[in-house]
Chains A and B, each alone.
Chain A
Amino acid sequence: MKLFALIYLLTIGGLTMVLFQEKTKKESIEAGQEIYQDFCVQCHLNSGEGVSGVFPALKASDYLMNNVEKSVAGIKYGLRGKITVNDEIYDGIMVSQGLDNEEIADVMNYILNEWGNSYTEQITTEQVNKIPKNLVD
């Protein structure tokens, strides 16, 4: 009986892992690149450098690297009001792009690891699911 329970649990666990598998970090970054080219590049540009004073940089951006959860919230719910990025003040609006949470995780992994940016942990869909709106209110 014990053995049965063990096999049962292992099977369910294994199935869960297979069915709800998160992408590897590398796969997520690749998917994120496509999302970036579709939804972000018009303002933040191919180089991630943005436009000084209008669209904040993502490349070597202190705001992005120090406010990862808030950045996720910004993509998820939209971001408005004053923020300071690399000593420059931005007071624009980034509206929600209608991305689903998996797409948000992918594009975050891309921008956190592109143009010389580097972030050890992987942003998961589960993490994005849990990011609350009040982070950007």
Chain B
Amino acid sequence: MKNKSSLSILMFLVLHLSCAQDNPPFIETPTEINYTYETIVDGIDIPWGLDFISENDLLVTEKSGILYRVVDGQKTPVTGIPEIYIRGQGGLLDIALHPDFNSNSIIYMTLSSSIEGDEKGGNTALYSAQLKENKLENAQLLYKATPNTKKGQHWGSRIVFDQDGHLFFSIGDRGNRDVNPQDITRDGGKIYRLNLDGSIPKDNPFVDTNNSKKAIYSYGHRNPQGMVMNPKTGEVWEHEHGPQGGDEINIIKSGVNFGWPTITYGINYSGTQITDKTALPDMAQPFYYWVPSIAPSGMAFSSSGVYKDWEGDLFVGSLKFEYLERLVIKQNKVIQREKVLDKIGRVREVVESPEGYLYLGVEGKGVLKIVPNQ
């Protein structure tokens, strides 16, 4: 009897210790699955960004530099895209339709660009253009981060709109974490806010700060590859790749410092420490952080009633674990995490369609649609 109880204490300790590093709630595998998926379009290596013209007419970026228009599952490359600098994690990134696309045909896209500046390499750029059938016209550069660098990592980038006529987009720290993210006179490691015509809003937080980049809205970010407007609150939600064990969800607020790399829950890939601080008074805490890292990309709220019990939940792609993650949020807290379509592949993008379905960009596959069972 004594042996048995010490064994169970030992088992308890082993279980406890093995989970001690993980941040709750722990990921669950659902017992009941009442949905499946269908492939909308295949043959896209890295479907990085997507947006809907209508339910059966979508624009999909392929990281290597192709923009597809997909009508009823048939993909056609769109011509007239600006020159793209393919390097590491960079390429053709996000795409977003202007809120008044139906009347002005304007689209926005972020991409890696080597234009401007004497330095070799590239940095993230935001363009607008008009889509006429399968052709882009009147391409305009709205923002180009500097300086160019040959670093391959952390370009961001996602584009979202708020309800007050602003465009937000993200740029990662460009592999220069000790220089860029905490310095508002430099690009990189920032969320930016512009008016829809590319001009700087007069009430941006750093417009009156000397030498600042006036488009900056928040800073101290590492590599944001997911961003969405919360349809219930109108707030912009973002997630970013942390170092090992430091992926975060943040709710973006004007002028706020989100801490990278001064505070983080993560460590270097090599296992060494970046900082011993996870919190400081003048830096925001994440809304949630993932330990272990899931390598998040793409982000959407399910606002429709299309799926049983999913209304209001947050969905995030996991590149590392190859599933879509469902996060249930109650009273400003993540209370449950669940795998959706486990082992589906590297989920790069998640978007809610006009009719309320969740569409995924999955690497090596293409665009998938989650379909509830009848």
Seen from chain A, the residues whose Cβ lies within 8 Å of a Cβ on chain B are 38-39, 41-42, 45-46, 51, 54, 80, 92-93, 95-98
Contacts and interface: CB of A to CB of B under 8 A. Distances in A.
Contact of B88 (A80, A92, A98): A98
A98 B363 contact: no
20 contacts: A38-B151, A38-B152, A39-B88, A39-B152, A42-B153, A42-B269, A46-B269, A51-B320, A54-B322, A80-B364, A93-B363, A95-B45, A95-B63, A95-B64, A97-B87, A97-B152, A98-B85, A98-B87, A98-B90, A98-B152
Contact of B175 (A38, A45, A92): A38
A74 to B, nearest CB: 14
Interface in B150-176: 151-153, 175
Given A93-B45, A95-B64, A38 B153 contact: yes
Given A46-B271, A98-B86, A93 B322 contact: no
A56 to B, nearest CB: 15
Contact of A46 (B85, B153, B270, B364): B270
Contacts of B87: 97-98
Contacts of A41: 269
- Most chain-A Cβ atoms within 10 A of its Cβ — which of B86, B88, B90? B88
Contacts of A51: 320
Interface of B: 45-46, 63-64, 85-88, 90, 151-153, 175, 269-271, 320, 322, 363-364
Given A45-B269, A80-B364, 6 more contacts: A38-B175, A95-B46, A95-B64, A96-B64, A97-B87, A97-B152
A93 B269 contact: no
A30 B251 CA distance: 41
Contact of A96 (B86, B175, B270, B322): B86
A97 B320 CA distance: 19
A95 B90 CA distance: 11
A99 to B, nearest CB: 8
A92 B364 contact: yes
Contacts of A45: 269
B297 to A, nearest CB: 12
Contacts of A46: 269-271
6 closest residue pairs by CB, A with B: A98-B87, A98-B86, A39-B152, A46-B270, A38-B152, A93-B364
Nearest to B153: A38
A92 B363 CA distance: 9
A6 B320 CA distance: 61
A71 to B, nearest CB: 18
A67 to B, nearest CB: 21
A137 B45 CA distance: 15
A119 to B, nearest CB: 23
Contacts of A93: 45-46, 363-364
Contacts of B320: 51
Contacts of A95: 45-46, 63-64
A92 B85 CA distance: 23
B86 to A, nearest CB: 4
B346 to A, nearest CB: 8
A42 B46 CA distance: 16
A54 B87 CA distance: 22
Nearest to A103: B150
A27 B364 CA distance: 36
A57 to B, nearest CB: 16
